[in-house]
Structure 1
Amino acid sequence: MIKLIASDLDDTLLDRNANISLENKEAIQRAIKRGLIFTIATGRMFQATLPYAMELNLSSEQPLICYNGALIKRVSGEVLYERPLEPQLATAIINYGQERDWTINVYYDDRLFVSEINDKVKEYASYVGVDIEAVGDLAEFILEGNKGLHKILVNNEAEQTKLRIEELRELFGSQAQITNSRAKFIEITSLDAHKGQALHWLADFMGLNIKEVLAVGDSNNDLTMLQMAGVGVAVANASDYVKGQVDFITNCNHEHAIAKVFEDYVLKK
C-alpha cells in the first residue's frame, strides 16, 4: 500500500506556467486527509520550493527534498539531512567551467551565487524567483571558508548540454552526480546526493518501507527516485528514455498529472 507520494516540481507538479493546478491541489489535499504523506522532491533551492509547499498547506513538519537530494529540510526550516559537495571537488569543477566561459550557478546556504550577472542568470533567477549574488571568481569564493555547496548548475544552450555532460562525467563522474533536469541545465551534486538516496532516507526516517513510496517525475535527475520507489510514474511529457524506466506513465504536466496519479494509483486503493 502506498503511504508516501513524492513529486518533482518543474514539468511534473507544475504546469507550463509554473503553477499548481486546482485539480492537483485538491487531489493532494484529499490524499493528506486520508492520512497519506505528500512531499516535493526537486532540484530547486529550498527557498524556491517553500512557496509551493505553503500553497499546498503542507504541515510545518513535512520534510522537502531539495537540490536533487543534497538537502532535506522541513517546511519549518529545520535541516534533517545534508550531502554537500566538498570544496576541493567543487572548485575543480568550477575552474574547468570558468576556463571555458561557462555560465555557472553555485548554491551555498540556500543562496544563489554567480561570477557575474548575464542574461542567462537573469532568466533563470526570474523563473525560480530568487535573488542573485555576483561574487567574481567562484572558485576563490568557495575556498574562502571552505564552503560546501549543495549544488552546481551549468546553464547552457540546449544543444551544448549533451557534450558538456560527457566532458564533465569523463573528468568528475567517479566523484559527483552529474545529470540534467531541463534541456539547458546540467546539475552537479555530491556522489551520494541524488533524489533516490534522499527519498530512501526519508522513507526510513518516517518508518516506511521504500516499497510504500510512489514517485512521479519527468527528467533525468528524477531517474534514481523513480527507479528506487515502490512505484515509479513518469508524466507523458517526460523523455522516451525516462518513460522506459518506470512502472507507469500518466498525463502531461499541463493535464493535472498529479491528480491523475492519485486517481489511478492512490485514492482508489
Structure 2
Amino acid sequence: MIMVIKLILSDIDGTILNDNNEVDSDLKQTVKELKNKDIPFVLASARSPKGMLPIAKELGVLNNPIACYNGALVIKDLQNDEYSKILSHELNVEEVKRIIKTVHDKYNNVSINLYSGSDWYAENLDKWVKIESEITNLTPILTDFDKLIENNPVHKILLVSEPDEISVLLNDLERSNYDDSSFYLSKPNYLEITNSQVSKEKALRELTSTYNLSLDQTMTLGDNYNDIPMLKIAGLGVAMENAPTDVKDFADAITEDNNKNGVSKAIKKYVLR
C-alpha cells in the first residue's frame, strides 16, 4: 500500500486507550517521530475538551487541533482557558428541551449529562455520573438544566442507563422527528446526541482544509460505530481489532487491539515505515 500520509486523526476510548484507560505505551515516542516529520496527530473523541486535556498533554499534542464531542467542537490551544474555535455546532435549544422532558417523563433511571464548551453539567451525582467521573477524572457542575439551556450553547447530550433501557429510549427518540439532532451509541449503555451536522467525517474535512491537504493524505483510527464516517473517507481508515465486525467492514486495514498498542503499530507500519 503506497501512500503519503500527512495527517492522522485518531479516536481515544478503545483506540489509543487500553481497557484500563491507559494510553498506548509506545504512542508518545511515535508521536514525537510524527512531529519530526511534520505530521499532525489529532485526537477526536466524544469527550469534552477537559476530558481530552490530560491525554493531549501526555502525548505532547496540545498545539494540534482537538476534535471534541465527535467534532461538534474543534479547537486549538486546548491548554488555554480561552481556546480558539475552528468549528462549533450546537444543538437546537427546543430539541434539547424536548429530549430532557421525554427522559424526565418516561425514563426515570436514565442519567442526563449536558456538555457546553469545555464544561460538563449534571442534575445530580447519580451512579452513572460517578462512573463517568471516575473514567474521565472530571467532576460535573450540578445545575438546573432549564436555566443552563437558556443561557449556554449545548454541544452534546449524554444519556446513560442499562443497555436495555437505552435501546428503548433510542428507538423512542428516533421515531419522534428530531430534525436537527443525531443519535448514536458510543457504548451499549451510552446514548450520545449532537447536532445532525456533526460527525468525525466533517471534522476530518475541516482539518484537511485547515492544513491544505487532500483526504487521500489522511489516516484515521477508530473502534466504534461513530468512527465509521471518518474511516470511510480517509486515505487510509484503520480499525482496531477490538472493533465490532461491522465497523471493521468499513476500514481499509485492521491493526492490533487497544490492549496491544494497535495505534502505534499501525502508525509505524503505514506512516513511519
Aligned letter for 2:176? Answer: L
2:168 aligns to what SS in structure 1?
helix
Match of 2:33 among 30, 33, 37: 30
Alignment length, in residue pairs? 264
2:198 aligns to what SS in structure 1?
coil
Match of 2:221 among 216, 222, 226: 216
Residues 48 and 118, structure 2, Cα contact 8 Å, conserved in 1: yes
Match of 2:131 among 123, 141, 150: 123
Is residue 18 from structure 1 mapped to residue 29 from structure 2 by the alignment?
A: no
Q: CA offsets per residue over residues 96-124 of structure 1, 9 Å max, x none?
A: 11212221100113211112221111111
1:218: Cα distance to partner? 0.6
Q: Which has the higher helix share?
A: 1
1:255: Cα distance to partner? 0.4
Residues 27 and 258, structure 1, Cα contact 8 Å, conserved in 2: no
2:8 aligns to what SS in structure 1?
strand
Structure 1 length normalisation: TM-score?
0.93
Question: Residue 236 of structure 1 aligns with which residue?
Answer: 241
Question: Residue 206 of structure 1 aligns with which residue?
Answer: 211
Looking at structure 1, the residues matched to 62 and 56 of structure 2 have their Cα atoms a distance apart, in angstroms, of 8
Identity percentage of aligned residues: 28
Match of 2:94 among 81, 85, 88: 88
What does 1:9-158 align with in structure 2 at a 5 Å threshold? 9-60=12-63, 62-74=64-76, 75-76=78-79, 77-99=83-105, 100-101=107-108, 102-136=110-144, 138=145, 140-145=146-151, 147-158=152-163
Residues 68 and 193, structure 1, Cα contact 8 Å, conserved in 2: yes
Structure 1 unaligned regions, length at least 5: none
Residues 3 and 36, structure 1, Cα contact 8 Å, conserved in 2: yes
Structure 2 length normalisation: TM-score?
0.92
Looking at structure 2, the residues matched to 114 and 160 of structure 1 have their Cα atoms a distance apart, in angstroms, of 19
Looking at structure 2, the residues matched to 174 and 241 of structure 1 have their Cα atoms a distance apart, in angstroms, of 26
Detail structure 1 runs of 4+ shifted over 4 Å in the superposition.
none
Looking at structure 1, the residues matched to 219 and 53 of structure 2 have their Cα atoms a distance apart, in angstroms, of 21
1:125: Cα distance to partner? 1.4
1:164: Cα distance to partner? 2.5
1:173: Cα distance to partner? 5.2
Question: Residue 257 of structure 1 aligns with which residue?
Answer: 262
Looking at structure 2, the residues matched to 240 and 113 of structure 1 have their Cα atoms a distance apart, in angstroms, of 34
1:231: Cα distance to partner? 1.4
Looking at structure 2, the residues matched to 222 and 246 of structure 1 have their Cα atoms a distance apart, in angstroms, of 10
Aligned alpha-carbon RMSD (Å)? 1.5
Q: CA offsets per residue over residues 221-256 of structure 1, 9 Å max, x none?
A: 111111122211110111111111111111000100
Change (3 A) 1:27 1:169: same
Which stretch of the first structure deviates more once superposed, 18-27 or 62-71?
A: 18-27
Is residue 171 from structure 1 mapped to residue 179 from structure 2 by the alignment?
A: no
Looking at structure 2, the residues matched to 133 and 91 of structure 1 have their Cα atoms a distance apart, in angstroms, of 19
Change (3 A) 1:2 1:123: same
1:172: Cα distance to partner? 4.1
1:59: Cα distance to partner? 4.7
Which stretch of the first structure deviates more once superposed, 236-245 or 22-31?
A: 22-31
Match of 1:246 among 228, 251, 268: 251
Residues 27 and 59, structure 2, Cα contact 8 Å, conserved in 1: no
Change (3 A) 1:224 1:135: same
Which stretch of the first structure deviates more once superposed, 46-55 or 13-22?
A: 13-22
1:162: Cα distance to partner? 2.9
1:127: Cα distance to partner? 0.9
Q: CA offsets per residue over residues 179-231 of structure 1, 9 Å max, x none?
A: 11122211000011111111111111111111211110011111111112221
Looking at structure 2, the residues matched to 59 and 130 of structure 1 have their Cα atoms a distance apart, in angstroms, of 19
Structure 2 unaligned regions, length at least 5: none
Looking at structure 2, the residues matched to 160 and 245 of structure 1 have their Cα atoms a distance apart, in angstroms, of 28
